[in-house]
Amino acid sequence: MAMLDLRRLLSGPGWALSLILAGNLIPVFGVAFLGWDAAQILLLYWAENVVVGFLTVPRILAAEGGRRDQEGSPAANGCFFSVHYGVFCIGHLVFALSMANDFARVDGQGGVWSRTFGDGGFWLAILAIALLHLIGQVRDWWMKRAWRDASPMMEMFRPYGRIVVLHITVLLGAWLMLALKAPAWTVLLLCLGKALLEVIGAVATGRLARS
């Protein structure tokens, strides 16, 4: 009975929305209360991409749908994804670090590394986001047994749509902030804009529909 109640609770659309909002409130909290700037937000979003990539690999390997004669084995798709997505993340990191250093120079603050990956609070933020993504994956993938119908290739390409829509938008927004020399508080608009796009994406893909 307890397991059934847990399944019913986690299957509700309110739970999915709560996970999305909680994940996006972490950078908002950092900006509002910890003095984070755009440099830290850009690298936090990059780290979130890495988390998404790690969680995608078991989805690819577990997917049982699709046509193996056309799509290849889950292991082959998983290996290809790991290499391709890894290269993609390296490219994203180059852009994010370049812009983060530009923000640090404009703000007169050095030491981007010490304020991001060299800071314990920043790692706690990454771990919190990773935990929320893991909970979402358990809910949407394992508890709903979505792996039975999903194909390895479909799961391999799924993260890219999220990156293109969300993170290119974030990078463009950050570039506009630099070009316009916008005040530091406008980074909150960047965080809220990403949150809105993520909610819209969840609605479009049916994540907020009651199962």
Give per-residue pLDDT as tens, 35-75.
888 889 989 999 999 999 999 999 999 888 777 667 778 88
Reported as a single tens digit per residue, the pLDDT across 184-200 is 778 888 888 888 888 88
In the structure, what pLDDT confidence band is assigned to residue 90 with cuts at 50, 70 and 90? very high
With a pLDDT cut of 90, the percent of the chain lying above it is: 27
In the structure, what pLDDT confidence band is assigned to residue 204 with cuts at 50, 70 and 90? confident
Reported as a single tens digit per residue, the pLDDT across 112-130 is 888 889 889 999 999 999 9
> Whole-model pTM?
0.85
In the structure, what pLDDT confidence band is assigned to residue 107 with cuts at 50, 70 and 90? low
- Looking at residue 13, its pLDDT comes to 62
In the structure, what pLDDT confidence band is assigned to residue 100 with cuts at 50, 70 and 90? confident
Higher pLDDT, 86 or 183: 86
Residue 89: is its pLDDT beyond 80? yes
- Looking at residue 1, its pLDDT comes to 43
Residue 12: is its pLDDT beyond 70? no
- Looking at residue 211, its pLDDT comes to 47
Distance of alpha carbon 37 from alpha carbon 177, whole angstroms: 12
- Looking at residue 146, its pLDDT comes to 81
Residue 141: is its pLDDT beyond 50? yes
With a pLDDT cut of 70, the percent of the chain lying above it is: 87
